[in-house]
A and B are shown apart, each in its own frame.
Chain A
Amino acid sequence: MMGWAGRWTLLVAAFVVVLTSIVEGLAQPDSDGEQTTFLVELAETVLVFVRADNRGRVIVGAPLLGEGERFVHLGRFIIQVNAITDYELRLSGRLEHLEPPPAQEIFIDPLPLEAKLDEESLQGSPVRLNYEATRFLPVRRIPYSYRLFQGGNNVVDPTRCAIEVRLDLRRLPSGRSGERLRFQILLTVIEQ
């Protein structure tokens, strides 16, 4: 038989255990959490576009040529590249005979077209220029191309540059009066 003294001792011991566990529990900081997972996918890492007008129509004829005029200026076009990765910008082209019918591609390489980068016009994030492309170079027919410049992430300040395009009449395939041709200049930016 347990006396009152024994019962009190047991009660006090139980109280001490409960009190100790409460104090220990209060000493631990509370925590809670949930996990959220993101999947970042870079679907479009590089973009190139020709700002403003990217179409032109030029009428040429022998009476305009005069002596020694071999090249006809076709225009100046501003290109912009936006990239979040390393990239290079390449230039190539296609030539099509439209009229008289039938319309068909003309397979000559290089094309009777020349282009050059205007180094002075470079704006935005710096790039590594292909200095050969700062002089007029014959435009290659796709799939051939040549590099204009290389760069990296330029989200803060996209790179802009002008290219000048001229027609080399001497290399124009012999056709007839009334013939209509279409040049397609392709600017391709490639992630590296």
Chain B
Amino acid sequence: MILAISSSAQPQSFPGDTDTDEILLELLIFKGALLEVTSRLPSNLTVTPEDAERGIKELGELLLTVFSLTDYRVNIQVDTAGLLPEETFRAWVHEVRGPLSHIYAPEPLPFPIGGEALPLFAGGNNAGTPTTVTVRVRLDLRALPEQLPRRIPVSFHVYLEELSGGG
């Protein structure tokens, strides 16, 4: 988007008579971007001895679809009710279909400490070509603390953040 700085367009001049009428159309963007999560993680996961041997537990995939007219960024947060450190979870962008401008997490990255959001990807206007992204989530068993409760409720929150226009 290129914004005016100082000049204004000059109308053409013609030797003969001219006349002009106009049509005025106003456009209001009431919600510029929409994120849909079309797949869920399993509601229950059990860490098996095989997982422990590998050191990781794959939690599954989230299928995200973005419809947007504006610049946006998609983030993910994890909530473990304080029972696990956030950085034991990792997420990354696995597959992309459609336009994107940047992938922040091309490989498994730990969630930031303190419940901060992990940016996944960013994009802009994708009208006509929705962007579908597969995000994978895993648990890094090697980063787990020694003492753990038997059941740990974990929830992931994926959200779209609209960025300032003008770019």
Across the interface, do A176 and B164 meet the contact criterion of CB distance under 8 Å? yes
Please measure, in the bound complex, the distance between the C-alpha atom of A159 and the C-alpha atom of B64, giving whole angstroms.
52
Please measure, in the bound complex, the distance between the C-alpha atom of A167 and the C-alpha atom of B33, giving whole angstroms.
17
Please measure, in the bound complex, the distance between the C-alpha atom of A174 and the C-alpha atom of B162, giving whole angstroms.
10
Counting chain A CB atoms within 10 Å of each CB, which of B8, B14, B16 scores highest?
B16
- What is the minimal beta-carbon distance from A114 to any residue of chain B, in angstroms? 12
A68, closest chain B residue (CB): B128
Across the interface, do A75 and B25 meet the contact criterion of CB distance under 8 Å? yes
Across the interface, do A61 and B22 meet the contact criterion of CB distance under 8 Å? no
B101, closest chain A residue (CB): A174
Please measure, in the bound complex, the distance between the C-alpha atom of A55 and the C-alpha atom of B22, giving whole angstroms.
9
Q: Tell me which residues across on chain B come within 8 A of A180, comparing CB atoms.
A: 26-29
A62 with B20, Cβ < 8 A, contacts A167-B27, A176-B165, A181-B26 known: no
Q: Tell me which residues across on chain A come within 8 A of B43, comparing CB atoms.
A: none
CB within 8 Å of B: which A51-85 residues: 54-63, 65-70, 74-75, 77, 79, 85
Please measure, in the bound complex, the distance between the C-alpha atom of A119 and the C-alpha atom of B90, giving whole angstroms.
59
A61, closest chain B residue (CB): B31
Digit string of A38-50 for contact with B (CB within 8 Å is 1, else 0)? 0000111111111
CB within 8 Å of B: which A145-192 residues: 145, 165, 167, 169-192
Please measure, in the bound complex, the distance between the C-alpha atom of A172 and the C-alpha atom of B124, giving whole angstroms.
10
CB within 8 Å of A: which B54-88 residues: 67-71
Across the interface, do B30 and A174 meet the contact criterion of CB distance under 8 Å? no
Counting chain A CB atoms within 10 Å of each CB, which of B21, B33, B70, B164 scores highest?
B21
- The A contact surface, by secondary structure, is strand
- Is there a chain A Cβ closer than 8 Å to B11's Cβ? yes
Among A2-10, A20-28, A29-37, A101-109, which stretch is in contact with chain B? A101-109
Interface size class of A (residues with CB under 8 A): 35 or more
Please measure, in the bound complex, the distance between the C-alpha atom of A85 and the C-alpha atom of B19, giving whole angstroms.
13
A54, closest chain B residue (CB): B23
Task: List residues of chain B with CB under 8 Å of any chain A CB.
Answer: 1-4, 8-12, 14, 16-34, 67-71, 124-130, 162, 164-167
* 3 pairs of A and B residues whose beta carbons are closest in the complex: A70-B128, A191-B16, A173-B1
**Beyond known contacts A57-B28, A190-B17: 9 more, CB 8 A cutoff:** A46-B19, A47-B19, A54-B24, A61-B30, A70-B127, A142-B9, A173-B1, A175-B166, A179-B28
A-B contact pairs, 27 of them (CB 8 A): A46-B16, A47-B19, A49-B21, A56-B26, A62-B32, A62-B67, A65-B34, A65-B69, A65-B127, A67-B130, A68-B130, A70-B129, A104-B3, A143-B12, A173-B2, A173-B165, A174-B69, A175-B1, A175-B29, A179-B29, A179-B32, A182-B24, A183-B23, A184-B23, A185-B24, A191-B17, A192-B16
